[in-house]
Amino acid sequence: MAGASDNRVRHKGELSILTRKRPTIHDVAEASGVSRGTVSRVLNGKANVSLSAEAAVRRAVAETGYVVNRAARSLKTSRTGSIVMVLSEPQERLFEDPNFSVLMRVATNQLAERDMSLVLMIAGDDGGRDRVARYLRGGHADGALLISTHAGDPLLDEIERAGVPAVALGAVLGRESVIPYAAADERGGARAMAEYLVEQGRRKIGMITGPLDTPGGSLRLEGFTGVLGRKAGKQMVVHSDYTQAGGEAAMRRLLRNVPDLDAVFVASDLMAAGALQALHAAGRRVPEDVAVGGFDDSAIASATRPALTTVRQPLAKVAEETVRLLIALLDDEEVEPVILPTELIVRDSA
Amino acid sequence: MAGASDNRVRHKGELSILTRKRPTIHDVAEASGVSRGTVSRVLNGKANVSLSAEAAVRRAVAETGYVVNRAARSLKTSRTGSIVMVLSEPQERLFEDPNFSVLMRVATNQLAERDMSLVLMIAGDDGGRDRVARYLRGGHADGALLISTHAGDPLLDEIERAGVPAVALGAVLGRESVIPYAAADERGGARAMAEYLVEQGRRKIGMITGPLDTPGGSLRLEGFTGVLGRKAGKQMVVHSDYTQAGGEAAMRRLLRNVPDLDAVFVASDLMAAGALQALHAAGRRVPEDVAVGGFDDSAIASATRPALTTVRQPLAKVAEETVRLLIALLDDEEVEPVILPTELIVRDSA
DNA sequence: TCAATGCCTGTGAACGTGCACAGTACTCGA
DNA sequence: TCGAGTACTGTGCACGTTCACAGGCATTGA
Is residue B130 within 8 angstroms of chain A, CB to CB?
A: no
A348 contacts A301 by C-beta, under 8 angstroms: no
Q: What is the dihedral of CA A42, A44, A46, A47, to 10 degrees?
A: -50
Nearest nt by C1' to B35 Cα: D10
Q: How far is the CA of A50 from the C1' of C1 (A)?
A: 29
Q: Does residue B13 lie within any of the structural domains?
A: no
| A283 shares its domain with A306 | yes
B272 contacts B289 by C-beta, under 8 angstroms: no
- What is the residue-averaged pLDDT of chain B? 87
Strand D atom within 7 Å of A73 CB: yes
Is residue A95 within 8 angstroms of chain B, CB to CB?
A: yes
| B204 shares its domain with B269 | yes
pLDDT at residue A93 in the model = 54
Q: Is the pLDDT of residue B93 over 70?
A: no
Binning pLDDT at 50, 70 and 90, where does residue B125 land?
confident
Q: Which of A26, A46, A68 is the last residue of a domain?
A: A68
Query: Strand C positions with any atom < 7 Å from protein CB?
Result: 7-12, 14-21
B175-201: per-residue pLDDT in tens? 888 899 999 999 999 999 999 999 999
Q: Which of B41, B68, B95 is the last residue of a domain?
A: B68
Q: Does residue A159 lie within any of the structural domains?
A: yes
Residues of A in contact with B75 (CB under 8 A): 69, 71-72, 75
| B98 shares its domain with B171 | yes
What's the CA angle centered on B26, arms B25 and B28, to 5 degrees?
65
CB pairs < 8 Å spanning A and B:
186
Indicate which of B91, B158, B300, B333 best probes the interface with A, i.e. most A CBs within 10 Å of its own CB: B300
B12-59: per-residue pLDDT in tens? 333 333 446 789 999 999 999 999 999 999 999 777 889 999 999 999
- Percentage of residues in chain B with pLDDT exceeding 70? 90
Strand D atom within 7 Å of A69 CB: yes
pLDDT at residue A5 in the model = 33
- Helix (H, G, I), strand (E, B), or coil: what is residue A86? strand
Is residue B337 within 8 angstroms of chain A, CB to CB?
A: yes
Residues of A in contact with B127 (CB under 8 A): 112
pLDDT at residue A9 in the model = 32
Confidence (pTM)? 0.84
Which range scores top for mean pLDDT: A1-5, A144-148, A176-180, A189-193?
A189-193
Q: Does residue A4 lie within any of the structural domains?
A: no
| A175 shares its domain with A252 | no
Is residue B334 within 8 angstroms of chain A, CB to CB?
A: yes
Indicate which of B122, B145, B297 best probes the interface with A, i.e. most A CBs within 10 Å of its own CB: B122
A127-179: per-residue pLDDT in tens? 888 889 999 999 999 999 998 888 788 889 888 888 899 999 988 888 888 89
Nearest nt by C1' to A138 Cα: C16
| B207 shares its domain with B303 | yes
DSSP secondary structure string for all residues of B66-133? ----HHHHHHHH---SEEEEEE--SSSHHHHSHHHHHHHHHHHHHHHHTT-EEEEEE-SSHHHHHHHH
pLDDT at residue A2 in the model = 35
| A99 shares its domain with A151 | yes
| A123 shares its domain with A265 | no
| B142 shares its domain with B112 | yes
Q: How far is the CA of B46 from the C1' of D5 (A)?
A: 21
Selected residues 268-307 of chain A with any CB under 8 Å from a CB in chain B: 270, 273, 280, 299-300, 302-305
| A95 shares its domain with A120 | yes
Indicate the residue type of A138. G
Q: Does residue B143 lie within any of the structural domains?
A: yes
Q: Does residue A152 lie within any of the structural domains?
A: yes
Cα-flanking dihedrals φ and ψ of residue B167, to 5°? -130, 165
Task: Name the DSSP class of A334.
Answer: -
Q: Domain span at residue A332?
A: 82-183+316-340
Nearest nt by C1' to B37 Cα: D10
| A192 shares its domain with A300 | yes
Q: Does residue A348 lie within any of the structural domains?
A: no
Beta strand residue intervals within chain A, DSSP E? 82-87, 117-122, 143-147, 166-169, 181-184, 205-209, 237-239, 263-266, 291-293, 310-312, 338-340, 343-345
- Helix (H, G, I), strand (E, B), or coil: what is residue B200? coil
| A190 shares its domain with A226 | yes
Q: Is the pLDDT of residue A285 over 70?
A: yes
CA distances from B319 to B102, B108, B121, B312, B339 (A): 7, 11, 18, 14, 12
CB contact under 8 A, B8 and A335: yes
- What is the residue-averaged pLDDT of chain A? 87
Binning pLDDT at 50, 70 and 90, where does residue A3 land?
very low
- Helix (H, G, I), strand (E, B), or coil: what is residue B211? coil
Q: Does residue A349 lie within any of the structural domains?
A: no
pLDDT at residue B12 in the model = 32
B215 contacts B207 by C-beta, under 8 angstroms: no
Binning pLDDT at 50, 70 and 90, where does residue B326 land?
very high
A88-103: per-residue pLDDT in tens? 875 545 555 556 777 8
CB contact under 8 A, A1 and B75: no
A232-283: per-residue pLDDT in tens? 677 899 999 988 899 999 999 999 999 999 999 999 998 999 999 999 999 9
Nearest nt by C1' to B48 Cα: D8
pLDDT at residue A208 in the model = 97
For residue B332, is it left (φ>0), alpha (ψ between -120 and 50) or beta?
A: left
Q: How far is the CA of B37 from the C1' of D11 (A)?
A: 9
Binning pLDDT at 50, 70 and 90, where does residue B5 land?
very low
User: The domain spanning residue A179 has which CATH number?
Assistant: 3.40.50.2300
Q: Report the helix count and the strand count for chain B, using DSSP H and E.
A: 13, 12
Closest CB to A71 among B80, B105, B118: B80
Chain A CA closest to residue B120: A118
Binning pLDDT at 50, 70 and 90, where does residue A298 land?
confident
Q: Which of A68, A100, A115 is the last residue of a domain?
A: A68
Q: Does residue B221 lie within any of the structural domains?
A: yes
Q: Report the 3 state secondary structure along A288-299.
A: CCCEEECCECCH
A319-337: per-residue pLDDT in tens? 899 999 999 999 888 899 9
Q: How far is the CA of A59 from the C1' of D28 (A)?
A: 34
Is residue A81 within 8 angstroms of chain B, CB to CB?
A: no
Q: How far is the CA of A100 from the C1' of C16 (A)?
A: 37
CB contact under 8 A, B335 and A65: no
B203-226: per-residue pLDDT in tens? 999 999 999 988 889 999 999 999
pLDDT at residue B83 in the model = 95
* Strand C interface, protein residues by Cβ within 7 Å: A 33-38, 41, 47-50, 52-53, 72, 75-76, 78; B 21-22, 24-26, 36-37, 40, 43-44, 66, 68-69, 72-73, 75-77
Is residue B332 within 8 angstroms of chain A, CB to CB?
A: yes
Residues of A in contact with B104 (CB under 8 A): 87, 95, 120, 122
Q: Is the pLDDT of residue A124 over 80?
A: no
Is residue A259 within 8 angstroms of chain B, CB to CB?
A: no
Q: How far is the CA of A11 from the C1' of D15 (A)?
A: 19
Nearest nt by C1' to A37 Cα: C10
Least reliable range by pLDDT among A25-29, A227-231, B162-166, B312-316: A227-231
| B303 shares its domain with B222 | yes
Q: Is the pLDDT of residue A11 over 50?
A: no
Give the residue with greater pLDDT, A232 vs A4: A232
Domain count within chain B: 3
pLDDT at residue B328 in the model = 92
Residues ≥6 apart with Cβ < 8 Å to A139: A78, A80, A162, B22, B67, B69
